[in-house]
Structure 1
Amino acid sequence: MPKTASPAPTPAIEPVSFDHCIAPSKAYDEAFDASHGLRPHWQSLLDKLTKLGVQGMRDRQAHAQRILRDDGATYNLKSDPLSPNVWALDIIPNVIPEAEWYVLEAGLKQRANLLDLLFKDLYGPQNLIKDGVIPAQIVYSHPGFLRPCHGMELPGVKNLVLHAADVVKDQNGNYLVVGDRTQTPAGAGYALENRTVVSRVMPDLFRDSNVRRIIGFFHTLRRSLSEMMSHNTDNPRIVVLTPGAYSSNYFEHAYLANFLGFPLVQGGDLTVRNGKVWMKSLHGLSQVDVILRRVDDSFCDQAELRADSMLGVPGLLEVARAGNVLIANPLGAGILEAPALMSFLPQICEYLLQEPLRIPSVGSWWCGDQDNLAYVANNLHELIIKPIARSALQKSVYGHTLNEQERTALLATIQENPGNYVAQAYTPGPHLPTWQKGKLTCRPSLLRTFTVADGNDYSVMPGGLSRIATSEQEHIVSILSGSSSKDTWVKTSQAEPYRPLLEEQHEDEAQQTNLPSRVIENLFWFGRYAERAETCLRLMRTLFKQLNGFDPLPIESKRILLHAVSHQTGVLPGFTSDEAELLDAPEETLAALVTDGDLIGSIKSNLHAMLACGEQVKEMLSADTRVILNELRDHIHEVDRAYVNGLPAIPEESLDSLVTSLLALSGLNNESMLRGLDWVFQEIGRRTERALQTTTLLQSTLTQALPSMPQQQVLESVLLSVEALISFRRRYRTRTRVAFGLDLLMIDRTNPRSLIYQVEQLRKYLDALPKPERQQLGLALEQRLIIKSLNDLQLADLEELAQADETTGERKQLTELLTSITEQLEQFTTIISDRYFDHTAGPQQLIKSKWKVQV
């Protein structure tokens, strides 16, 4: 009998080691007890993670980061569309036992109720100040206290809709609140994204762990926002107000807007008229009833708050005072974040709730009090010094990191104006297991919890956003410290059923989608830049093929093609200057036209502009579109590397992946997008740009007659760049005539890249656009321009167009026709822009802040 080969041995799984997972002596260890044994609620989780092995953990961590990148999950601090900061996630969750969570949950509910009552008092009767519970100075000197909001009556039982608290544990495992977030509590969207990703990369582990669902928090948020304006309307229009794509948290704003089904708007998308807030859209003005804001207090209204803001809505505060719009959280809530209030919170709780504070705040001392100042002076080496208000210019100072001379200087600064400073106890974050650099280690953490108004009380998200340090030197974790994030699992005794968000929506009719004109404008330009980049890429790729062909390119053909590249990119004079040196050695200039992002009109600059438009409308892009855009970013970086020393050996091949990605993007939009106005305007942008690029290409290559062989090479190059050369050869065999080329490129309705095809598509899309309220006589100007362009093409005599002047060698009729069509298309885009896009200038300051000093 023949011998059978023995099966190959299964490679041994490298086990996960716990050697580096022991917390320092002064920090609480979440996973291990004092004898270094695993705590019960961590036992099963870490046992299962151990079985995955080192490689299994690496694979899942890499998978998680790929999902985050494909989802467009970013935390951007540099606002670079080519290299956005992908949100960092550690796949090992933070686990909280059920009994421990109930204690924390009760304390967070109490804290939210307390802050709500505190807000009502500070902007109402101010009994806390009158009765001496809190010093007036810490309120009136704080920039978060907005005097224009005093006396404002807000609808709903609860004024404070959302509250986030940053909590840690002391050395004994007791929870402490180190900060409150009440202006624009960020992080709930990231917590939801973390949960989605972790449940995908470790589905079995998540399913078997009996984790409480967090979807109910978003049900409650949606319901609460709707009910708070139920006295005005049965179906309130709710929007999410964002500072824009350059905000570091823009992903979360877009993610929440999509998840909740609310339009995402910027300040310029809203306007105040007749005492109400309206959203500007293609269909006119739509009243807004509720604004879930992600813009800080002082930037929300240029008329009454900060005049130099470009993010708000002038007159918004007046509408809120009249009760015609609900803002969540209300303007003025920033005062509740004042760290100085923490030292008085136990007394405030006894005064307002007649009960002790369940979760204490971290030890806090306001330096405006003489006894507190004396304590700070004697214990500066153990404290953290903070300004009374958060500021990018004033950072927290850690006393234990200073030498004697630095502490003396700091104390002198505090004593100059003690009321402006608060000291807090230094409490290292509790240490959690984390997967970093291929091993299991232990790092300090911070938990941000989220609470939402729910009728007469508050509901707490069963979980939250855990942050964990990535460096051994970090002991205090913050959002800006370069930390990573974790999903937060609250264990439960029994599994919870899944509840989709749509379950609680009771509308019987579908709501009309009203898009801000800003969104439409960005989609329009997204389409234009994509088409512009693709045309330039195709022409550049064709030029490289011709320059690197077997036979040298005749000087006439080379000159015309180089001219065409300059005209197509718009980087002039470029090769059109006919400098002998430039024409003989074009490599350096061609490389710059590909990779120089600072050169307006280059391929990279067009791709950069397209990606920037995509970032502005991130909430409108599908998951597959985001994947393609990420691939495009990768290909751009690959091209940069290939061109680092100038043109590579085979430059055209390096551009193939860029062209393929742009084609995939175009195909996806054509096959997957609903035929709404967003798709229509993107297509108008694409078709207009393709028509303009085609006229430019024909005008720069075929309007000048050449000898037979160069003319054939130029015509074939043009056909090759628009993927029409094979079709041309099949149709006309070996008869390479300019008239035949014009037939295929200008008036062939079966060619999706011909001029007439673009114009006919534009005529069709015009019928889908909203009509003006006032019916004008006859056809609109944009319709007349398109019809005229269509007639010009249909009436064109191709043989006459191909005839060249015997003296100049120029095809004058072709030049005149292409020039006319170009002018008509450019006028068409101007009219579309003026009619449908919002170009109102931002609010102008009547008084500049620097004038106040002079006055």
Structure 2
Amino acid sequence: MSQTQSQSIGQSAQNAVQARLEYSPPAGLLDESRLADGTVNPAWRYLLDSVDNLGPEALRKREQKARRILRDDGATYNIYGKPGSSSASWELDPLPYVIDSADWSNIEAGLIERSELFNLILRDLYGPRKLIRHGALPPEALFGHSGFLRACQGIKMPGEQELILHAADMVRRDDGSMCVLSDRTQAPSGAGYVLENRTVMSRVFPSLYRDSHVHRIASFYQRLRLKLSSLSPSGDIPRIALLTAGAQNESYFEHAYLANYMGFPMVQSGDLVVRNGFLWMKSLDGLRRVDVLLRRVDDELCDPVELRADSQLGVPGLLEVVRTGRVVLANPLGSGVLENAILLKYLPDISMQLLGREPRLASVKTYWAGDDRDLAYIIANIDKLIIKHAWRGSGQSSVYGGDLDPAQLQALQARIQGQRYQYVAQEKVGKSYTPTFNGNGLEPRPTLLRTFSVATDLSYTVLPGGLTRIGTSTDGQFISMQEGSPSKDTWITASEPERAPIQGPTPETLRFSSEPVLDSLPSRVVENLYWMGRYAERAEASMRLLRTVFVMLNGEDPISPEAQRILLHTVSEITHTLPGFTNATPEQLADPEEELMQIVRDGNRVGSVRSTINSMLSAADESKELLSTDTIRVINDLRDALDDLDADLAGGLAFAPEEALDPLVTALAGLSGLTQESMIRSVGWRFIEMGKRIERALQTVATVKGLLTEVSGEMEQVTLLTALLTSMEVLITYRRRGREKRDIELGLELVLLDSTNPRSVIFQLERLHEHLVELPKADKGSGELNEESRTLLEASTLVKLTRLPQLLEARDGQRQLLARQMTQLAELLREFSRLINDKHFDHRIGQHQLVSSFGGAGSVLAGSASAAPISGATGSIAPVPEGGS
């Protein structure tokens, strides 16, 4: 054998070794994939052997596939202070966290017991308060805690369980048992991310997932839905809604994901109103009664009347409706008191009093500065303890004393002694480690598990799995989603296959979705679809004109200064980036590069391409629960293209800037195609189409007015007409029809009067009429036209009665009749938009009947008083409307 062959075989062997994914954690590390003697935990063996056989390259490809799925699903976690950054993407490690069934059964029993215990504590603290009277809990621990809401005293919920959802954060201790670090009881987050993680992992590793005999999780969400339905005070088909804080909330993605999965409308505070002692949702068909609210807003923010007065996320008067039992909230208002870290110190005694035994799941050792002996211990050992505020919503972060210098420790000690009832200290609990893929190999990372339980008729059901979070590095023990900690899917594995639960609707759940789709759409969501359509069309029209201008400015045949002036003026008018070129000097008009680049990429300038697309993306975020996966994928393509815009435009006019706009135009065209070919012809589709048609008509009218009002020389006229036809995509049609007519008359016919041209004004007006008659409150069969029908008819008549030769008549260098008619047509379109907004979004027009969940009528209120107006802008060029995007 030659030396070269020997080296080749040696290299191949080395590559084969490098292609494996063997996992060897350091000795002495508490790693869950290893037993005490260092051998592989049998629960982990199949997973580790499988990924070892895959090798790093194959696992890297699976990880990339998982990231693509998460991106296409729009999975994000908003990191405060970094909106829109790449760090907001949801991160999922391709290796799951594995727990076998035997181990899980003990954890599950402890969690059920803990949920039952916390339910009893909640009922006692807002009821007889025996725990305080019998000395199990000091009164200062309750009454000095910000989470205790006196206004919620005595409020009762149907059934034995007051606490509907409970989440616990746990870590594995050296002895193999689980230790609870904290509980979440106000609005526990993470269950939606669990579902998304499981969906992704089952697609990325279908065989591994199937052969691992992983417990299914779908039944947990079915239990949740059934429980919420059983809470309805109306006794009939309930209307359940999910209350979110809005698109800027850190876990907004999971709010929309859960609402979609369970079939609930997602509402914000502005979508709800209290009238006649009930809670109502502002829908397109008037006000609809809400029976149950699954809230994702903290306690004190839910009602600005009785709770926190400066809250913009709550519904005025909500607590009074809850108090009367006419609406049920899950979890109930006031349940945040259970997140009181002081409870952990007294939990063993509380459990003995309420259950007759200590909890099966231990809690982290906790010291309360309000206790004299605990205070002395905290001060003496502050450098070995984690100090935290007893109230999680205090805005103060936990701090480890060992990380502070002497001056900082002294300041912390003074703060604790000055507000001793507000501080607790906890032992630093080391976290166990699990194998994690770092892109090249496997390494141990600290691990924290959050899992969930939901109330049933008699007790609680625990989610078989949970949201596992891991550290960002091997060294650090600090785990926080706000710091970008990745997640893992959690696999509870059985020794034999588990029977898959019914995935589709069951007879019990079918009735929940029996109400018409229209009833379950808040007006705000549909308004955002409408503005999404408008902003998408506005951005596309702007970019089509800008591309045409870029090509003409860089073309082989130079255009005259007069034609360039009119083109640039029209760009400013169309984008509404005024004053822009409308008052530019001749020198600025001759060198327009700086202004044109700002019109494209300046996100702080209203009307710019970037600003308009950002407005469209904001509107899409606010209506996310109604968008398909393909639509979200195209929206993510838009975000990516927008992120690349600055780099693509770095060369300015000299480097074909029109090509930088191509990906954006293509993505918007794809979005338009999806709405046409893949969207159900529901009321949401009609409003997104109406927004699109109104905006396209307005943009066409403005372009015609800008390019053709002034009478120019023959060469200028050719340039301007070409720009019009190119931006409207009818230049080829114009050339084909040129044998019969030529010049501006044929161009105007194509963009104004040709009903076969999908970009003509008359085409838009005809489509608007078709949508209008299908809207709710369309007054079908009525002989008298409503105001919006009158306005649309007037606009259509104005266009149809047009005589093109008269429009083209010029006087004093201006086509005055053309300018007047385009101005009048634009005013009618804006008026039509305003009427649609007032009637369907702001509910200002007509009478609105209060309709109960079973279709009965309550009192009739005037439209102007039935709902707080949503301040949406209705002009043809508008900034992002509050509540409208």
TM-score bracket relative to the smaller structure: over 0.9
1:36-62 deviations in Å (ceiling 9; x for gaps): 321111111101001111101111111
CA distance in 2, matches of 1:775, 1:272: 33
Give 1:413 shift.
2.3
Please say if 1:799 is aligned against 2:805. yes
Moved more, 833-842 or 186-195: 833-842
CA distance in 2, matches of 1:717, 1:661: 22
Alignment partner for residue 737 of structure 1, among 719, 737, 743? 743
Alignment partner for residue 197 of structure 2, among 170, 194, 197? 194
Could you say which residue in structure 2 is the equivalent of 1:120? 123
1:324-371 deviations in Å (ceiling 9; x for gaps): 111000000000001100000000001001122100100001111111
Could you say which residue in structure 2 is the equivalent of 1:748? 754
Secondary structure at 1:601's aligned position in 2? Answer: coil
1:572-597 deviations in Å (ceiling 9; x for gaps): 22222241111110111111111111
Please say if 1:575 is aligned against 2:581. yes
Moved more, 662-671 or 569-578: 569-578
User: 1:616-631 to 2 correspondence within 5 Å?
Assistant: 616-631=622-637
Give 1:707 shift.
1.4
Alignment partner for residue 464 of structure 1, among 466, 472, 475? 466
The alignment of Structure 1 onto Structure 2 pairs a total of residues equal to 830
CA contact (8 A) 1:219 1:501 kept: no
Please say if 1:478 is aligned against 2:441. no
1:613-659 deviations in Å (ceiling 9; x for gaps): 10111111100001111111111122221123534511111211111
Give 1:713 shift.
1.5
Alignment partner for residue 500 of structure 1, among 469, 478, 503? 503
Give 1:558 shift.
1.4
Could you say which residue in structure 1 is the equivalent of 2:814? 810
Secondary structure at 2:489's aligned position in 1? Answer: strand
Could you say which residue in structure 2 is the equivalent of 1:257? 259
CA contact (8 A) 2:842 2:869 kept: no
Secondary structure at 2:342's aligned position in 1? Answer: helix
Give 1:734 shift.
9.0
CA contact (8 A) 2:728 2:759 kept: yes
Please say if 1:223 is aligned against 2:229. no
Alignment partner for residue 19 of structure 2, among 15, 19, 44? 15
User: 1:629-708 to 2 correspondence within 5 Å?
Assistant: 629-647=635-653, 649-708=655-714
1:97-155 deviations in Å (ceiling 9; x for gaps): 11110000000000000000000000000000011110000100111100011111211
Secondary structure at 2:689's aligned position in 1? Answer: helix
CA distance in 1, matches of 2:407, 2:35: 40
> Taking structure 1 as reference, are residues 478 and 781 closer, same or farther at Cα in structure 2, changes over 3 Å only?
same
User: 1:595-610 to 2 correspondence within 5 Å?
Assistant: 595-610=601-616
CA contact (8 A) 2:788 2:836 kept: yes
The root-mean-square deviation of aligned C-alpha atoms, in Å, is 2.0
Structure 2 unaligned spans of 5+: 1-11, 844-866, 871-885
Give 1:602 shift.
0.7
CA distance in 2, matches of 1:525, 1:185: 32
Please say if 1:718 is aligned against 2:724. yes
1:521-562 deviations in Å (ceiling 9; x for gaps): 111110000000000000000111111111111222212111
CA distance in 1, matches of 2:459, 2:136: 25
CA distance in 2, matches of 1:653, 1:506: 50
Task: Give aligned-pair identity as a percent.
Answer: 47
TM-score (norm 1): 0.94
Secondary structure at 1:685's aligned position in 2? Answer: helix
1:723-763 deviations in Å (ceiling 9; x for gaps): 10000100114953111111111111111111111111111
CA distance in 2, matches of 1:690, 1:452: 49
> Taking structure 1 as reference, are residues 241 and 508 closer, same or farther at Cα in structure 2, changes over 3 Å only?
closer
CA distance in 2, matches of 1:358, 1:505: 34
CA contact (8 A) 1:436 1:470 kept: no
Please say if 1:450 is aligned against 2:452. yes
Give 1:406 shift.
3.3
Could you say which residue in structure 2 is the equivalent of 1:277? 279
Could you say which residue in structure 2 is the equivalent of 1:328? 330
CA distance in 1, matches of 2:787, 2:320: 40
Alignment partner for residue 69 of structure 1, among 68, 71, 77? 71
CA distance in 1, matches of 2:23, 2:200: 27
Please say if 1:52 is aligned against 2:54. yes
Could you say which residue in structure 2 is the equivalent of 1:179? 182
CA contact (8 A) 1:107 1:359 kept: yes
Q: Which amino acid aligns with 2:179?
A: L
Please say if 1:549 is aligned against 2:552. no
CA distance in 2, matches of 1:508, 1:483: 37
CA distance in 2, matches of 1:558, 1:148: 68
User: 1:575-594 to 2 correspondence within 5 Å?
Assistant: 575-594=581-600
CA distance in 2, matches of 1:782, 1:654: 40
1:371-414 deviations in Å (ceiling 9; x for gaps): 11122223222211111111463111102222344333322322
Secondary structure at 2:448's aligned position in 1? Answer: strand
Secondary structure at 2:273's aligned position in 1? Answer: strand
CA contact (8 A) 1:22 1:32 kept: no
Could you say which residue in structure 2 is the equivalent of 1:852? none
Moved more, 402-411 or 794-803: 402-411
CA distance in 2, matches of 1:304, 1:509: 34
Q: Which amino acid aligns with 1:825?
A: L
CA contact (8 A) 2:554 2:654 kept: no
> Taking structure 1 as reference, are residues 406 and 559 closer, same or farther at Cα in structure 2, changes over 3 Å only?
closer
Q: Which amino acid aligns with 1:274?
A: N
Could you say which residue in structure 1 is the equivalent of 2:299? 297
Secondary structure at 2:437's aligned position in 1? Answer: strand
CA contact (8 A) 2:119 2:161 kept: yes
Moved more, 218-227 or 401-410: 401-410
CA distance in 2, matches of 1:72, 1:58: 21
CA contact (8 A) 1:81 1:612 kept: no
Moved more, 550-559 or 374-383: 374-383
1:213-250 deviations in Å (ceiling 9; x for gaps): 11111011011111122x63231111000001110110
> Taking structure 1 as reference, are residues 535 and 441 closer, same or farther at Cα in structure 2, changes over 3 Å only?
same
Q: Which amino acid aligns with 1:179?
A: S
CA contact (8 A) 2:572 2:580 kept: yes
Give 1:416 shift.
2.2
Secondary structure at 2:155's aligned position in 1? Answer: coil
CA contact (8 A) 2:186 2:298 kept: yes
Could you say which residue in structure 2 is the equivalent of 1:158? 161
CA distance in 2, matches of 1:167, 1:22: 23
> Taking structure 1 as reference, are residues 416 and 278 closer, same or farther at Cα in structure 2, changes over 3 Å only?
same
CA distance in 1, matches of 2:596, 2:736: 32
> Taking structure 1 as reference, are residues 414 and 82 closer, same or farther at Cα in structure 2, changes over 3 Å only?
closer
CA distance in 1, matches of 2:656, 2:50: 50
1:778-813 deviations in Å (ceiling 9; x for gaps): 2112111111111111111101111212xx111111
CA distance in 2, matches of 1:84, 1:399: 29
Could you say which residue in structure 1 is the equivalent of 2:860? none
Q: Which amino acid aligns with 1:639?
A: L
TM-score (norm 2): 0.91
CA contact (8 A) 1:18 1:441 kept: no
CA distance in 2, matches of 1:19, 1:495: 27
Secondary structure at 2:491's aligned position in 1? Answer: strand
Moved more, 407-416 or 276-285: 407-416
Alignment partner for residue 824 of structure 2, among 816, 820, 833? 820
Give 1:704 shift.
1.1
